[in-house]
Amino acid sequence: MKIKLHWKLMFIFCSAVMLGLVVGYFYLTSHLTAYLEANLQNNLKRQLLLSKDFLESQLNISNHLANADSIADRIGDKLRLRATIIANDGTVIGDTDLNAAELKAVENHLNRPEIQEAISKGFGVSKRYSYTIKKYLLYMAVPFGREHTAGFIRLAVPLSDIELLEQRLQKTTGIAFLLILLFSVIIASLISFIISRPLVEMAAIARVMAKGDFSRKPSIYSKDEIGDLAMALSYMSDEIKGKIERIKQEGVKLDAVLASMFEGIMVVDEKGIILLINPSLRKLLFIDSDSQGKTPVEATRVTQVQDITDKILQSKQSLISEEISISRPAEKILAVNGVPIIRNNTLEGAVLVFHDITELRRLERVRQDFVANVSHELRTPIASIKGYAETLLDGAIDDKDNVKEFIGIIHQDSNRLANLIDDLLDLARIESGKLKMIFTPTDIKPILDSCLGVLDKSIKAKRLFVSVDMPKNLPHVLADEKRLSQVFLNLLDNAVKYTPDAGSIRVSVCVNDKLVQADISDTGIGIPEKDLPRIFERFYRVDKARSREIGGTGLGLSIVKHIVLSHNGQVWVKSELGRGSTFSFTIPQV
């Protein structure tokens, strides 16, 4: 059981006071009693000596005392005590309490201790029980008489008188001491309260401090140890508050860093139980539920993550890098880097960092594909030129039936190569941003007219019907004139090439919100639906042979797309196989 300091202090104070009082009480009472008794004896002795003088004055010549009983009565009456006069032979001749008749019955007193003592020493004292008056009495006797002893005078007081006095004394001191005790209790209570109050207060403050409330400060200003303690507590409170604040800030910073990181982070303890997963990783691996306390495979449902975690924790290698492929929630390639957390040579856990490298890998593949494609596209016409030249040199130059066709092929393939190189360079410049486009307010009409002019010969050759639908007050667009011409030329060229003889091409330009939209429709062969999403990819050809035949490089639409996107526009296509295609793009108005 907890006993409060307050009560402890009170108990100690009161015990000390009680002990003092009890000792004091006994000392005082025994001392006073002894004093009283001595005082009484002294008084009795003086009275006895006075009575002796008086008796001696009453003695006649023959040294004899007449009417001793009445003298005894007088003395006893005056002194309010019992006086006995005893003759020198021990016969009682006078007594305050006895009449003459009774005196005769009293036995001889010569052997009484006080008388014997008076005979031997001249003064006798005795305390005894008197059967005569049935009380404890203090007897005192001296001999009297001129020249020789005539008898003895004895005075007696009941000891009960002394006891009464003692009792009264004890009562008074007892009451006084009780009062002192009461005051002591009150004072002790006050003192213990004064001492214990600040401690109680500080304990309460320490408790709320533990709960994180640092607003309370001890209101103790005494310049003693308790005051020091209060100040120390106050200082400690400030220090802890500051430290907690710093830790909190660190935590907030860490949370912010983890939350804003693009990379996924997972922290596990030494047993491989997840301590932390950041939002990026949650999104990356589609972890919706609370993952704390789970194993990596439980949380991520990806066994490779578990394998890597186990590997790090087992091998304690400084860094483990692996690439993993996941299929849920989407096809992704993740680079996982893991390091163990080792402090003081003990393994405390591991940190895993996940990078989503899906896009990186895709771009790498696109680049590789592109390199392979470029290689193929360049090598084929060169192979053709080289092969035909070799064949001609090897004697075919004399083969009259074929020589002209072979030279024609060399010419055609060198043109193809030249076009391809032009387009590749254009594309590379647009993509790398090295192609400086100068955006100026541009009128579409003259551009369209000049493009149609360039294609006029082919249009006429195929007997195509071309119509242009354009509002008269068409606003200017913000564009690079040369590149916009390239977009129109590429799209119109395609339309001409892929539209059979006597077909029609329709160009319509209209204002759509803050954009100008151009649609180039043809009644050509159209594009199969499965090819539509890939039609703007580099080197993507619906019909390779046909593209080759009409001199396409496979880059025209890709260039169109890049130019339009550079103008903050959009490009798209709608097509129906066998019925025609519509290529549309938008360019912002000025």
Partner 1 sequence: MIEAAVTRKEKRIMVVEDDTNLNKLISYNLSKNGYTVESIYDGISAKEKLSKCIFDVVVLDIMLPGIDGFRICEFIKGNPVTSGTFIVVLTARAEPLDKIYGNIVGADYYLTKPFSVAKLIDIIKELTVVRDR
**Which spans of this chain sit near partner 1 (rule: CB under 8 A)?**
372, 375-380, 382-388, 390-391, 394, 396, 402, 409, 412-413, 543-545, 548-549
Least spacing, CB of residue 573 vs partner 1, in Å: 21
The smaller minimum CB distance to partner 1, of residues 152 and 388, is found at: 388
What's the rounded Cα separation, in Å, for the pair 558 and 275? 48
User: Residues with Cβ < 8 Å from 329, sequence gap 6 or more?
Assistant: 285, 286
β-bridge pairing 465-469 and 504-512? parallel
Q: How far is the CB of 393 from partner 1 (least distance, A)?
A: 10
Cβ distance to partner 1 smaller for residue 255 or 390:
390
CA angle 248/263/274 to nearest 5° reads: 60
Closest distance of CB 391 from partner 1, Å: 6
Q: Nearest approach, Cβ of 552 to partner 1 (angstroms)?
A: 13
What is the separation of C-alpha 467 from the centre of its chain, rounded to a whole number of angstroms?
Answer: 75
Residue closer to partner 1 by CB (options 377, 493) is: 377
3 state SS of 423: helix
Q: Is the Cα dihedral 304, 305, 308, 311 positive or negative?
A: negative
Residue 491: which residues within 8 A CB-CB, separation 6 or more? 520, 560, 583, 585
- For the bound state, the minimum distance from the C-beta of residue 358 to partner 1, rounded and expressed in Å, comes to 22
Shortest Å, Cβ 398 to partner 1:
12
Least CB distance from residue 532 to partner 1, whole Å?
18
Query: Can you name the residues that pair with 153 across neighbouring β-strands?
Result: 85, 142
Give residues with Cβ within 8 angstroms of 41, minimum separation 6: 125, 138, 140
CA dihedral (481, 483, 489, 491) positive or negative: negative
Q: How far apart are CA 274 and CA 298, in angstroms?
A: 10
In eight-state DSSP terms, residue 589 is: B
Q: Which is nearer to partner 1, 59 or 396 (CB)?
A: 396
Query: Please, what is the minimum distance in Å from the beta carbon of residue 405 to partner 1?
Result: 8
Q: How far is the CB of 359 from partner 1 (least distance, A)?
A: 23
Q: Own/partner pairs for 17-25, CB < 8 Å, 24+ apart?
A: 17/180, 17/181, 17/184, 17/185, 17/188, 18/181, 21/177, 21/180, 21/181, 24/177, 25/173, 25/174, 25/177
Give dist(CA 123, CA 119) in Å, integer. 7
The residue among 228 and 399 lying less far from partner 1, judged by its C-beta, is 399
Report in angstroms how near the CB of residue 539 gets to partner 1 at its nearest.
10
Nearer to partner 1, 288 or 394 (CB): 394
The first and second tokens of residue 269, run together, are 């303890």
Give the nearer residue to partner 1 in terms of CB position, either 193 or 406. Answer: 406
Task: Provide the minimum distance between the beta carbon of 291 and partner 1 in the complex, in angstroms, as a whole number.
Answer: 41
Tokens, residue 426:
């254009």
389 or 437: CB nearest partner 1? 389
Q: Is the C-alpha dihedral spanning 520, 525, 529, 533 positive or negative?
A: negative
Residue placing its CB nearer to partner 1 in the complex, 388 or 439 = 388
What letter does residue 543 receive in the DSSP assignment?
S
DSSP string, 63-102: S--SSHHHHHHHHHHHHTSEEEEEETTS-EEEETT--HHH
Sequence-separated contacts (24+) of 386-390 with Cβ below 8 Å: 388/413
The whole-angstrom separation of Cα 203 and Cα 223 is: 19
Nearer to partner 1, 197 or 548 (CB): 548
Residues 6+ apart with CB under 8 A from 453: none
Q: How far is the CB of 442 from partner 1 (least distance, A)?
A: 40
- The count of C-alpha atoms lying within 13 angstroms of the C-alpha of 489, restricted to the half-sphere facing its C-beta, is 15
Q: Taking the complex as a whole, how short is the minimal distance between the CB of residue 388 and partner 1, in angstroms?
A: 6
Number of helices and strands in the chain (H, E): 15, 17
Nearest residue (CB) to partner 1, 109 versus 416 = 416
Residue 463, classed as helix, strand or coil, is coil
In the bound state with partner 1, the residue whose beta carbon lies nearer, of 420 and 459, is: 420
Question: Which residue, among 424, 583, 566, 418, has the nearest Cα to 482 in the 3D structure?
Answer: 566
The secondary structure of the chain in percent helix, strand, coil, rounded to multiples of 5, reads 55, 20, 25
Residue with Cβ nearer partner 1 (46 or 379): 379
Q: How far apart are CA 392 and CA 383, in angstroms?
A: 14
Give the residue with the Cβ less far from partner 1, 383 or 428.
383
Shortest separation between residue 550's beta carbon and partner 1, angstroms: 12
CA distance 135 to 157: 10
